[in-house]
Amino acid sequence: MAKNKKKNQWIVPDGQPLTDMDIRILEYQGRGKLVPTRELIKTPEQIEGIRRAGVLNTAVLDTVAEKIRPGMSTWEIDKLVYDYTTQHGGIPAPLNYEGFPNSCCTSVNDVVCHGIPSKDEILEEGDILNVDCTTILDGYYADASRMFVIGGKTEPRWQRLVDVAWECLKIGEQVCSQPYVFVGDIGNAIQKHAHQNHMSVVRDLCGHGVGLQFHEEPDVEHYGHRGTGMLLVPGMTFTIEPMINLGHWQVCTDADDPTEWTVVTEDYEPSAQWEHTYVMTENGVEILTH
């Protein structure tokens, strides 16, 4: 997702008494920190709708996990995603989104993200694959991705990449164990863990707000400095989705993809990513996808 640099402001409607949350957010705003707008705070009803979308999105990925095998084309995965989603009352959000031609993204080996399913792309034992699904249900969006090791085994350094990417996701969650943390706190912790394992974090793409639209504020970068980025407060829904490279962090658009969606590593080393949708609560984040 492209990064948003807009400056926000928290405004208390005239005549409305200040809540504890208002006071805390206004204190951060007064210190020059980036805070959400009130529009980014979801109502309980909206959160429940996003949660239901998350349940369906999880079931879609569970179906992929049950069926995936060597010799399968990525197009077959896309068909599984479309069929299961639509048969259960949902809509695959990627389909026709800004010209994207399929129902999910299938990113194999050195493809970082936005890989386009194809009948000609056949999965082989030892491949690593990210399947990224976003589901719309009753107008609400949930977004998640999983890594799959085709055939159950790959070379050790590739397996370590998949594991470190998962660890980075969980470390990002741990940062959000309480509200009123910053996006930069997440990115800083993820970046440290990746670097400790001699891997890199993609900088050109990021996580994002989600729920009422496919992509909302805030931008959730997976690198950076503590105390930067947007303040995360109760009622906000967003993804964490670190893209971790075995080589360096630079990426580019695949020259063989005429749609210009597919992002690959510049050094042809593999990349891995896991993603969940979360809601921030008074007690920290709750995972809405699994």
pLDDT, the chain, mean: 96
Using 50, 70 and 90 to split pLDDT, how confident is the model at 238?
A: very high
Q: pLDDT above 90 covers what percent of the chain?
A: 94
C-alpha span between 107 and 98 (Å, rounded): 18
Residue from 119, 196, 126, 184 nearest 155 by CA: 126
Considering the domain boundaries, does residue 127 fall inside one?
A: yes
What integer is the mean pLDDT of 222-234? 98
Considering the domain boundaries, does residue 221 fall inside one?
A: yes
pLDDT value for 3: 46
Q: How many domains does the chain have?
A: 1
Considering the domain boundaries, does residue 187 fall inside one?
A: yes
Considering the domain boundaries, does residue 197 fall inside one?
A: yes
Considering the domain boundaries, does residue 9 fall inside one?
A: no
pTM over cut 0.85: yes
pLDDT value for 115: 98
pLDDT value for 7: 66
**Domain span at residue 102?**
35-287
pLDDT tens-digit series, residues 130-165: 999 999 999 999 999 999 999 999 999 999 999 999
Considering the domain boundaries, does residue 24 fall inside one?
A: no
Using the 8-state DSSP alphabet, how is residue 109 labeled?
T
Considering the domain boundaries, does residue 117 fall inside one?
A: yes
pLDDT at residue 267 greater than cutoff 80: yes
**181 within 8 A of 175, measured Cβ to Cβ:** yes
Place of tokens 């079931």: 59
pLDDT tens-digit series, residues 1-56: 444 445 678 988 888 899 999 999 999 999 999 999 999 999 999 999 999 999 99
pLDDT at residue 177 greater than cutoff 70: yes
End-to-end CA distance of the chain: 21
Considering the domain boundaries, does residue 12 fall inside one?
A: no
pLDDT at residue 170 greater than cutoff 80: yes
CATH number of the CATH domain containing 271: 3.90.230.10
